[in-house]
């Protein structure tokens, strides 16, 4: 889907669900990572995360567009357009927009675990970051810590 087709879809959804025209532009913005889309207050354009279409499909994309159109129409009519405002919550429920964008399936990284052992009592410690062995000692016996090989 191109930006031109996206704008046409947004205009269609605006007239169908909101009974008002969408007079600005809608574009895909691949730099959006943690959000489904955003409404720009300065120029009234809407930006959509392309992953909403590629990873989640047309239905999720339409839900995100409805969400951004709620911001758009409420802002232009000088009503409460922010998430916390009651006007926004009511309009979003009326048109069936999505409240939150679904999370993108991420590759799960294994966290690095660094292991230490007390040279005196044998107490084991696991940390995610290295610690200064000359500064830290065992919490049980105050013995010296040794870095274990993984």
68 is catalytic: yes
Q: Given this model, what pLDDT does residue 107 score?
A: 56
Model pLDDT for residues 94-122, shown as the tens digit of each residue = 999 999 988 877 655 678 899 999 999 99
The whole-chain average pLDDT of the chain stands at 93
Q: Is 44 marked as binding a ligand?
A: no
pTM for this entry: 0.71
Q: Is 75 marked as binding a ligand?
A: no
**Is the C-alpha dihedral spanning 45, 49, 54, 56 positive or negative?**
negative
Selected catalytic residue, list 5, 25, 47, 68:
68
**C-alpha neighbours within 13 Å on the C-beta side of residue 63:** 16
Q: Given this model, what pLDDT does residue 103 score?
A: 82
Q: Given this model, what pLDDT does residue 111 score?
A: 81
Model pLDDT for residues 45-68, shown as the tens digit of each residue = 999 999 999 999 999 999 999 999
């Amino acid at each position: 889907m191109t930006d031109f087709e996206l704008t046409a879809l947004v205009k269609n959804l605006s007239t169908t669900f909101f009974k008002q025209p969408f007079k600005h532009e809608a574009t895909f913005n691949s730099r959006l990572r943690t959000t489904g889309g955003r409404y720009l207050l300065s120029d009234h354009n809407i930006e959509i995360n392309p992953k909403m279409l590629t990873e989640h499909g047309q239905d999720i994309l339409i839900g995100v567009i409805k969400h951004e159109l709620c911001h758009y129409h409420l802002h232009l009519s000088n009503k409460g357009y922010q998430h916390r405002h009651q006007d926004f919550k009511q309009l979003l429920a009326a048109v069936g927009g999505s409240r939150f964008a679904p999370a993108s399936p991420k590759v799960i990284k294994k966290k690095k675990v660094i292991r230490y052992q007390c040279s005196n009592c044998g107490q084991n410690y696991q940390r995610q970051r290295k610690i200064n062995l000359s500064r830290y000692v065992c919490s049980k016996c105050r013995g010296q810590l040794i870095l274990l090989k993984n």
